[in-house]
Amino acid sequence: MSYAPHWAVEGRDWPNRAHSRFVDAGRLRWHVQVMGSGPVLLLLHGTGAATHSWRALAPLLAEDFTVVAPDLPGHGFTTGRPAGGLTMAAMARGVAALLTALDLRPDAIVGHSAGAAIAARMALDSLADPKTIVGLGAALLPFPGLAAKLFPTLARMLFVNPLAPHLFARLARGSGETARFLARSTGSKIDAEGIRCYQALMATPAHCAGAITMMADWNLEALRRDLSRLGPPLLLIHGDADAAIPLSNAREVAALIPGARVVPLAGLGHLAHEERPDAVAALVRDFVGGQR
C-alpha cells in the first residue's frame, strides 16, 4: 500500500471518474469533479472524506446545477498544501483559488461537516458570494465542555507523532474495521461502495495525516464569534441519529444566525447525504432554487 492515494490505483474505479479532472491552483494540484449545467453548486466534503462522499448526490444535483466537487487539501487525490497549511482560513482561500482557476463562481455552497465551516468562512471572508449555503451535519461550533480542550490537543499530539498516520492506516486495512469505525463514529449505514472508498483512502498514511492535520489546525471558536455576520440564507440538514454532531448543535447554530433553518432527517446519521441522497437532493434543490 502506497503512502498517498494514487489515481491509477485507489482511483482506478473511483465513483463518477468520468467527471474528474486535475487542476493546478494555489500551490496545489486539485482533484475536482465537474458535472451538469446551470447555476454553479459547490460541494465541500468533511474531514477524512473526498469526492466519493458525493457519489450518488452529485449526479442528482447535476440535473439542475453545474456541480463542482473538489477533494480538499490533504484529502483524497489532491496534493500539495495551501499557504497557511490546513487551517480553516487557508483551506477557504485554497478553494477560492481553485474556483478562480476554473473560472466559476458558486451560486450556492453545500458543505458536509467541516466542509460547512469552510463554506461559511468563504462567505465571511468575501472569498465567495453564494446566494445560499446548505450545511449537512454541519460542524460549525466548538466541541462542548471538556472535549473542546481535549479534542484539539489530542489531534495536535497525533500531528507531531510521525507514526500516527501509519498506525491509523494499518488499522484501516483490517478486515471490516473501516465499516465498524464509520458506523460507530457517524451513526450511518452506507453502501458497500462507500465503505470501499473510505477504506481505500484511510489505508493510505497521507490521507490520514491530512485529516489529523486539519483537526489539529481547526479554530471553531473564531468561526462561532463570526457566525452572526453570515449573510447568505442558511439551511441546516441534520440526521437525528448523528453520532458525531448532535441535532441540538444545528439548532444552536440556527439560533445564532438570523433566518437560519434546521431540517431534521429521521433515523439518519452524520453521513445522511450518503444514506438518502434522494431526500437530501430534494431539500437542496428546493432551498437553493427558492432563493435564486
Report domain extents, the chain: 17-145+219-291
Cell digits for 144? 462542548
> Residue 206's pLDDT is what?
86
Average pLDDT, the chain: 89
Within 8 A by CB and 6+ apart from 268, the residues are 188, 239, 240, 241, 242, 275, 276
Pairing relation of β-strands 40-44 and 234-239?
Answer: unpaired
Structure pTM? 0.92
What SS3 state is found at 40? strand
Q: Is it the case that residue 155 has pLDDT exceeding 80?
A: no
Average pLDDT over residues 245-257: 95
Cell digits for 218? 481547526
Please provide the CATH number assigned to the domain covering 17-145+219-291: 3.40.50.1820
Residue 20 has phi, psi (to 5 degrees) of -85, 145
Please tell me the least confidently modeled range out of 47-61, 146-160, 170-184: 146-160
Average pLDDT over residues 131-149: 78
> Residue 164's pLDDT is what?
41
Per-residue pLDDT tens for 64-86?
Answer: 999 999 999 999 999 999 999 99
Average pLDDT over residues 122-126: 98
Q: Is it the case that residue 38 has pLDDT exceeding 60?
A: yes
**Per-position DSSP letters for 9-26, written without gaps between them:** TTTTT-TTGGGEEEEEET
Q: Is it the case that residue 1 has pLDDT exceeding 70?
A: no
> Residue 238's pLDDT is what?
98
